[in-house]
A and B are shown apart, each in its own frame.
Chain A
């Protein structure tokens, strides 16, 4: 089967001016078939209309295992146009296995241009980080979400958590924070820190560090969250208030290692601790590789 008559005409559009590569004609554009993409887009539209609310969708089998970003990759596939420029990060890094293979996947099945530069990307799929560089209105941030339900560990019955969301009955989440303070003297949740979206829905920000939570608040870019195994999509539209939960006398504090980046000297980015030898040598470097690289280049140019 050549498929030339059956294949839908290549889609147009997209936010960027990506050159596009050559796409494998054996696949429909962006891997998923058109009706699946429509179904996911419907879920996305509903999610954008109700910020923070989890919308169920018919998650498909994707050619990668659960937990590697099956939700994120489906959302990306549904919103991608040929002119888009895709960036994929895993823990802030562009060069990790998962990021490299998802970029290669979309180059092959959608023929879109890919980049490692945050400023150039129109669609950024991310696992566990928000880029340090402030995002703008023409960009979409797609999160890979393992567990979309913020109340999961507190209330095991899904029917009951739905009811709690419907009634905005979120005392339980504060009980968790209370227990943290009672045990550790401070709120010890350092990632996947629960947030209230638009003053209504309690939302799991996916396992990003609490350090990144303030970046979600009134972000100009659209934020989409895809959970493949749990079959949920949710969203934070541009400029939506996102508040981290806390107590009046124990306010939310983003946590950061108290060091400058060894490579670029940044004192306000999120850091990874890296072992350098087997005698306890360690350095702290930016987790956002693009941010760190740009700063190193700028520094070299000045010198």
Chain B
């Protein structure tokens, strides 16, 4: 098997007496979707922030494509964030510029990576709006006028426009109603398959994890308590906490 795209070992981070991360290791291979599930406060989002360089761990290492992310300077990390990586926030307001038109939001990453052709940027923005099922005629509208689901799709378009290899998603379907969630999950699944993205998705929605992920990590109290192929983990949970988690899913 080829080398892991992102690989972390022995990550530890404490917030006072609380261990948010306690000896966490994770590998993500190219084109793979990995879900991190667990209850609130189990360290899911902290892990995502540490892996994407938004927070520094107390101990441990993170390597991306063989490069030590924590040892690299901020300039190198920002370059990664602009080109190879993407981050989709739970709340689209955190990931979008609400004062800038939809087209400008999509174009920002292109312009940050040196695109200086207005017509080209606009064509790329229209193409991406179409791919996330937003009418390109609404390109010059403010994201404020968009519904929650549309804002989230716009954020995904803005993240994917520079064709990253690895995307971090922090509860992308949180706060949306179920029918909108279903469409969004469908869209993410299609884009991931089409672009061959590696995705690390944090969610507390077991159903969403089953739909999207190839592999699942179950976290509790800052530790990975169980890890494996999605169907294996969800159909035959080994750890008592995973069994509880799977048993708690409501069936419609």
B57 within 8 A of A: no
* Residues in A whose Cβ lies below 8 Å from that of B78: 167, 169
Q: How distant is B146 from chain A, measured CB to nearest CB, in Å? A: 16
Q: Name the residue of chain A whose CB is nearest to the CB of B77.
A: A167
**Is the pair B140, A183 in contact by a Cβ cutoff of 8 Å?**
yes
* Residues in B whose Cβ lies below 8 Å from that of A167: 74-75, 78
A248 within 8 A of B: yes
A250 within 8 A of B: yes
Selected interface stretch from A9-17, A73-81, A171-179, A294-302: A171-179
Tier of interface size on chain B: 20 to 34
- Within 8 Å by CB of B118, from A171, A183, A249, lies A249
Given A167-B74, A167-B78, verify A175-B100 contact (CB < 8 Å): yes
Q: Name the residue of chain A whose CB is nearest to the CB of B110.
A: A171
B contact face: mostly helix, strand, loop, or mixed = helix
A239 within 8 A of B: no
A159 within 8 A of B: no
**Is the pair A247, B118 in contact by a Cβ cutoff of 8 Å?**
yes
B109 within 8 A of A: yes
**Is the pair B104, A178 in contact by a Cβ cutoff of 8 Å?**
yes
* Residues in B whose Cβ lies below 8 Å from that of A175: 97, 100, 104, 107-108, 111
**Is the pair B111, A174 in contact by a Cβ cutoff of 8 Å?**
yes
**Is the pair A178, B112 in contact by a Cβ cutoff of 8 Å?**
no
CA A263 to CA B120, docked complex, whole Å: 45
Given A247-B116, A248-B117, verify A171-B109 contact (CB < 8 Å): yes
**Is the pair A182, B116 in contact by a Cβ cutoff of 8 Å?**
no
**Is the pair A182, B101 in contact by a Cβ cutoff of 8 Å?**
yes
- Per-position contact with B for A202-219: 1 when CB-CB < 8 Å, else 0? 000000000000000000
Q: How distant is A99 from chain B, measured CB to nearest CB, in Å? A: 37
B119 within 8 A of A: yes
Q: Name the residue of chain B whose CB is nearest to the CB of A187.
A: B118
- Within 8 Å by CB of A179, from B100, B109, B117, lies B100
Given A167-B78, A169-B78, A171-B113, verify A181-B108 contact (CB < 8 Å): no
Q: Name the residue of chain A whose CB is nearest to the CB of B118.
A: A247
Most buried by B among A163, A170, A174, A181: A174
Q: How distant is A161 from chain B, measured CB to nearest CB, in Å? A: 14
* Residues in B whose Cβ lies below 8 Å from that of A249: 117-119
* Residues in A whose Cβ lies below 8 Å from that of B100: 175, 179
**Is the pair B103, A247 in contact by a Cβ cutoff of 8 Å?**
no
* Residues in A whose Cβ lies below 8 Å from that of B139: 182
Q: How distant is B181 from chain A, measured CB to nearest CB, in Å? A: 30
Q: Name the residue of chain B whose CB is nearest to the CB of A173.
A: B111
* Residues in B whose Cβ lies below 8 Å from that of A171: 82, 108-109, 111-113
Q: Name the residue of chain A whose CB is nearest to the CB of B107.
A: A178
* Residues in A whose Cβ lies below 8 Å from that of B34: none
CA A181 to CA B109, docked complex, whole Å: 17
**Is the pair B104, A182 in contact by a Cβ cutoff of 8 Å?**
yes
**Is the pair A174, B97 in contact by a Cβ cutoff of 8 Å?**
no
CA A18 to CA B210, docked complex, whole Å: 83
B121 within 8 A of A: yes
User: Which residues, 147 to 189 on B, are CB-close (under 8 Å) to A?
Assistant: none
Q: How distant is B231 from chain A, measured CB to nearest CB, in Å? A: 42
**Is the pair B74, A172 in contact by a Cβ cutoff of 8 Å?**
no
CA A183 to CA B101, docked complex, whole Å: 9
CA A108 to CA B227, docked complex, whole Å: 80
Given A167-B75, A167-B78, verify A172-B108 contact (CB < 8 Å): yes
* Residues in A whose Cβ lies below 8 Å from that of B140: 182-183
Q: How distant is A112 from chain B, measured CB to nearest CB, in Å? A: 46
A-B contact pairs, 23 of them (CB 8 A): A169-B78, A169-B82, A171-B82, A171-B109, A171-B111, A171-B112, A172-B112, A174-B111, A174-B116, A175-B100, A175-B104, A175-B107, A178-B111, A181-B118, A182-B101, A182-B103, A182-B122, A183-B101, A246-B116, A247-B118, A248-B117, A249-B118, A250-B118
Other CB < 8 Å A-B pairs besides A169-B112, A182-B101, 16 of them? A169-B78, A171-B82, A172-B108, A172-B112, A175-B97, A175-B100, A175-B107, A178-B111, A179-B101, A182-B122, A183-B101, A183-B140, A246-B116, A249-B117, A249-B119, A250-B118
Which residues of A are in contact with B by a Cβ distance under 8 Å? 163, 167, 169-172, 174-175, 178-179, 181-183, 246-250
